[in-house]
Amino acid sequence: MSPDRAVLETALERGEQEGGSIEFKERLTRDVHLADGRLESLVAQLRHRVLSGDGEATYVVGATDDGGLAGIDAETFSESMDVLSLLAEQAGAHIDTVQTWPVGDAGRVGVAHVKEGAMLDTDDAHIVVGTAGHVDHGKSTLVGSLVTGRADDGEGGTRGFLDVQPHEVERGLSADLSYGVYGFDDDGPVHAPNPNRKEDRAHVVETADRLVSFVDTVGHEPWLRTTIRGLVGQKLDYGLLTIAADDGPTRTTREHLGILLATELPTIVAITKVDMVQPDRVQEVLRSVERLLRDADRSPLVVDRYGVDSAIEEISERIVPIVTTSAVTKEGLGVLDELFERLPKTDTGDGRFSMYIDRTYNVTGVGAVASGTIRSGTVSAGDQLQVGPMPDGSFQQVEVRSIEMHYHRVDQARAGRIVGIALKGVRESAVERGMVLLPADVDPTPVRSFDAEVMVLNHPTRINDGYEPVVHVETVSEAAAFYPKDPQLLPGDTGEAHVEFKFRPYVIEEGQRFVFREGRSKGVGTITEVFEN
């Protein structure tokens, strides 16, 4: 018997008892169980079970009153979870976790753990930091040490909390975006001892007064597209660029810095691995970083020289604080903690709800889950939304089944939160990265082409009509054809261009910034006018 299955077997063996915390339900339906009279009695029953379990109750759904496994189909199970969630809310409780197992050919049984108290209120300070830096410059290790509060073992041990794919662990290279979270309360940092455990990450979200989420990108050059996706496709408040003291700035460093600055993201530079070199080498690298920033028309601010207060007051698109750090000795980590605890949220994200989808999942018993960073507004469980555009430009109506933030279920989330939203009314296979979630009552415009002001950062020759790079705007990554208004654009030129997506429409708006790339050719732009599909 597997440990997961033991949860079900234990509940079945204990059974329903008059003064117990376990309840069996074959199914829960809106028409029957939310009708007048029945709703009140079921809410009272749930409250009784929670009180009997000292604040926790276990609901076995898909089981008969005598503990037999009846099993129900996926759609009925989903409806049962919706009804149970409403009952819990009425009883001043919430569903904390759900586990399911197959029964027969197409049925399933599930165990829902219900806990006392409303779902977490996330209306607190929460900043999102995007990391960048050359491969092996200690980016993931630094984030791992910040999140866990642990010193690294000198072998990149804390990086393992962020590299979760088997090939990443084997090679020691991050190959996709990773996410980490820690926070602060009145006593200082709130760490996740093991960020790979959902309970540890949920504890941070539940207890911290202020949250810091990291979007850890990829340092290896072949995955530059993924790095751009992380820096452009998330609603970031700040950037964190790592430069190793034993190596110094590289070509990849300059590329990542260019992307951060082109997107006008306030950025901190962390010089890492200072424990591996002599002090004069640290000063040499520090001077080279200062020159690099001045060459990019930015003003460096060395925190060791001017203090944390100055860094917090001065950080902007033009002024870049520099911190010297070591994940092994933890030098500089306290400075970064203080910065992240005190730095203000850069954008409140007021307005209607919108979220560009970055990833999609299919969760057993739940269905389609879309994750991303909320761009504006708020979203609540039960909201009616639409997702799209589909390849033909249409949108599909969906309902928010539930919301999770770093593995902690919440009843509402607002702009800047990295969330997973379970959607009812759409298959996961129909939802793709680059689509957007919007309120059901708005009339979005699918866009196939747009005009833009562009700057060519790097190109071997010149850009002519028909040039086809990949355009990264929000979470959209799509091949597009460029048609400059002038006959051609050379490296360093700024000009106007008409841009056409090659394969499908997207929801984009005037004023959005984007990055385009093709091989080593790169540029940035701002959308000035959009055209309907």
pLDDT at residue number 273? 96
Instruction: State pLDDT tens for residues 300-316.
Output: 999 999 999 999 999 99
Work out the pLDDT band at 80, boundaries 50, 70, 90: confident
Over residues 220-249, the mean pLDDT reads 68
Instruction: State pLDDT tens for residues 19-33.
Output: 899 999 999 988 888
User: Are residues 241 and 294 in contact, defined by beta-carbon separation less than 8 angstroms?
Assistant: no
- Residue 315: give the domain boundaries: 125-342
Q: Which residues contact 35 (CB under 8 A, 6 or more apart)?
A: none
Which amino acid is residue 168, in one-letter code?
Answer: E
pLDDT at residue 177 is higher than 50: no
Retrieve residue 460's tokens: 């071997």
Of 421, 439, 457, the residue that ends a domain is 439
CATH number at residue 515: 2.40.30.10
Residue 45 lies in a domain: yes
pLDDT at residue number 349? 62
Of 439, 464, 489, the residue that ends a domain is 439
What is the C-alpha to C-alpha distance for residues 240 and 381, in angstroms, rounded to an integer? Answer: 33
Over residues 169-173, the mean pLDDT reads 29
pLDDT at residue 219 is higher than 50: no
What is the C-alpha to C-alpha distance for residues 337 and 212, in angstroms, rounded to an integer? Answer: 10
pLDDT at residue number 2? 44
Instruction: State pLDDT tens for residues 123-168.
Output: 446 788 888 888 889 888 999 899 999 998 877 666 555 533 332 2
Q: State the distance between the two ends of the chain, measured CA to CA, in whole angstroms.
A: 55
Q: Tell me the pLDDT of the chain averaged across its residues.
A: 83
Are 435 and 466 in a shared domain?
A: no
Instruction: State pLDDT tens for residues 500-509.
Output: 999 999 999 9
Are 110 and 153 in a shared domain?
A: no
Work out the pLDDT band at 481, boundaries 50, 70, 90: very high
In DSSP terms, which residues pair with 397 in a beta bridge?
A: 386
Between residues 435 and 103, the one the model is more confident about: 435
Are 327 and 372 in a shared domain?
A: no
Lowest mean pLDDT among 246-250, 421-425, 520-524: 520-524
Nearest to 433 by CA among 395, 376, 388, 475: 475
Residue 24 lies in a domain: yes
Residue 349 lies in a domain: no
Nearest to 456 by CA among 467, 448, 442, 445: 467
C-alpha count within 13 angstroms, C-beta hemisphere, residue 527: 22
C-alpha count within 13 angstroms, C-beta hemisphere, residue 141: 27
Are 20 and 69 in a shared domain?
A: yes
What is the C-alpha to C-alpha distance for residues 349 and 328, in angstroms, rounded to an integer? Answer: 37
Residue 413 lies in a domain: yes
Are 19 and 45 in a shared domain?
A: yes
Instruction: Count the domains in the chain.
Output: 4
CATH number at residue 326: 3.40.50.300
Q: Can you tell me which residue has the tokens 């990443």?
A: 168
Between residues 105 and 87, the one the model is more confident about: 87
Of 321, 342, 363, the residue that ends a domain is 342
Are 303 and 159 in a shared domain?
A: yes
Are 434 and 358 in a shared domain?
A: yes
Are 316 and 405 in a shared domain?
A: no
Residue 348 lies in a domain: no
pLDDT at residue number 242? 94
Residue 30 lies in a domain: yes
Are 281 and 162 in a shared domain?
A: yes
Instruction: State pLDDT tens for residues 351-361.
Output: 899 999 988 88
User: Are residues 527 and 512 in contact, defined by beta-carbon separation less than 8 angstroms?
Assistant: yes
